[in-house]
Amino acid sequence: MSDVAEMPKVRGRLTKEAPLAPLVWFKSGGNAEWLFEPAEADDLAEFLRGLDPDVPVMALGLGSNLIVRDGGVPGVVVRLGKAFASIEQLDDTRLRCGGGASGILVSSSARDAGIAGLEFLRGIPGTVGGFVRMNGGAYGREVQDILVSATLVSRSGEIEEWPLEKLGYRYRHSQVPQGAVVVGATFRGMRGDPAAIGAEMERIAAAREEAQPIRSRTGGSTFKNPPGHKAWALIDAAGCRGMTLGGAQVSEKHCNFLLNLGSATSSDIEALGEEVRRRVRAKTNISLEWEIQRIGSE
């Protein structure tokens, strides 16, 4: 993978040794060996068909729920740009959304179309591709509650439509295979009043602003909520609120968020998370699971 000449031809943009820190919320981490921004789904499919099957592939959305390790990411990172951010209203209750569309854009489009039930996407800081893969959720609802089907480009370069049942959703988990890229999804809500939908979205936005350090360099929710518990409460009880390591800190505002205070390496951030896990386990005998994805080499 050392030379552009060895890579499949593309219509989009293929960049060698591309810095990922500017593309992720933590603003830390190393380079992608290759960063591919496809022109459209066919471009991505043809590229993956022609790519050596042993080369790892991963998708990058808004980079909100991600630690890119300092040694960088081997293989190809796929980033879906504006070509994948389109939204089409199919009927009175359904929207077809590109994998690069943000939660804010999807919920706003649903509001304008008078489709209720998608308001919670206003509270998810990511793209359709990311929250379909993760069964993202907020404010009591999850993607599985609204998803009809998702369009995937498999690692072997096949474009496939997966119905909800095939995705095998569990809490923050799906059966989307490693190396596959979610390039679109159809969501279904119900008829609603745009004014009421807008008011609920504003309530969600205000609740996020009040409770979460969303204006900081953060990665969103760090750990999954264990059954019967809230991760933030376990972290608080273990005395971790405000704890620092290097340039990283456990947020004092919401202690299931880690912060880059400005000079943190990804190693600082991940090590702080592991120390939080150790302290919670020592205090409560509960093992917190990472919700944030950690990729690349240290």
Q: What is the pLDDT of residues 256-268, one digit of tens each?
A: 999 999 999 999 9
Residue 176 pLDDT > 90, yes or no? yes
For 224, phi then psi, to 5°, come to -70, 150
**234 φψ region: left (φ > 0), alpha (ψ -120 to 50), beta (else):** alpha
Helix residue spans in 135-193 (DSSP H)? none
pTM of the model: 0.92
- pLDDT per residue as tens digits for the range 94-145: 999 999 999 999 999 999 999 999 999 999 989 999 999 999 998 889 999 9
**Same structural domain, 167 and 98:** yes
Domain that holds residue 54: 4-82
Nearest residue to 294 (alpha-carbon basis) of 162, 283, 101, 277: 277
- pLDDT per residue as tens digits for the range 22-78: 999 999 999 999 999 999 999 999 999 999 999 999 999 889 899 999 999 999 999
Given the structure tokens 């008078």, which residue do they identify? 114
Residue 2 pLDDT > 60, yes or no? no
Which of the residues 37, 142, 270, 291 is marked catalytic? 291
Nearest residue to 85 (alpha-carbon basis) of 129, 48, 122: 129
Distance CA 113, CA 202 (A): 17
- Residue 30: which CATH number? 3.30.43.10
Which of the residues 108, 174, 221, 267 is marked catalytic? 221
Distance CA 2, CA 171 (A): 39
**Same structural domain, 106 and 198:** yes
**In total, how many domains does the chain have?**
3
Residue 193 pLDDT > 70, yes or no? yes
Nearest residue to 21 (alpha-carbon basis) of 80, 63, 78: 63
Distance CA 173, CA 248 (A): 27
**Same structural domain, 92 and 75:** no
pLDDT bucket at 220, cuts 50 / 70 / 90: confident
**Same structural domain, 102 and 200:** yes
- Residue 174: which CATH number? 3.30.465.10
Which of the residues 172, 188, 217, 277 is marked catalytic? 172
pLDDT of residue 158: 98
Task: Determine the average pLDDT of the residues in 181-205.
Answer: 97
H helix or E strand, kind and range, residue 195: helix 194-211
pLDDT of residue 297: 87
**Same structural domain, 234 and 287:** yes
- pLDDT per residue as tens digits for the range 271-280: 999 999 999 9
Distance CA 123, CA 134 (A): 15
Residue 4 pLDDT > 60, yes or no? yes
**Same structural domain, 108 and 134:** yes
**Same structural domain, 287 and 238:** yes
DSSP 166: G
**Same structural domain, 89 and 207:** yes
**Same structural domain, 67 and 124:** no
**Same structural domain, 64 and 39:** yes
- Residue 228: which CATH number? 3.90.78.10
Q: Are 240 and 226 in contact (CB under 8 A)?
A: no
**Same structural domain, 155 and 196:** yes
The answer to whether residue 172 is catalytic is yes
End residue of a domain, out of 211, 244, 270: 211
End residue of a domain, out of 82, 104, 137: 82
End residue of a domain, out of 66, 82, 98: 82
pLDDT of residue 3: 66
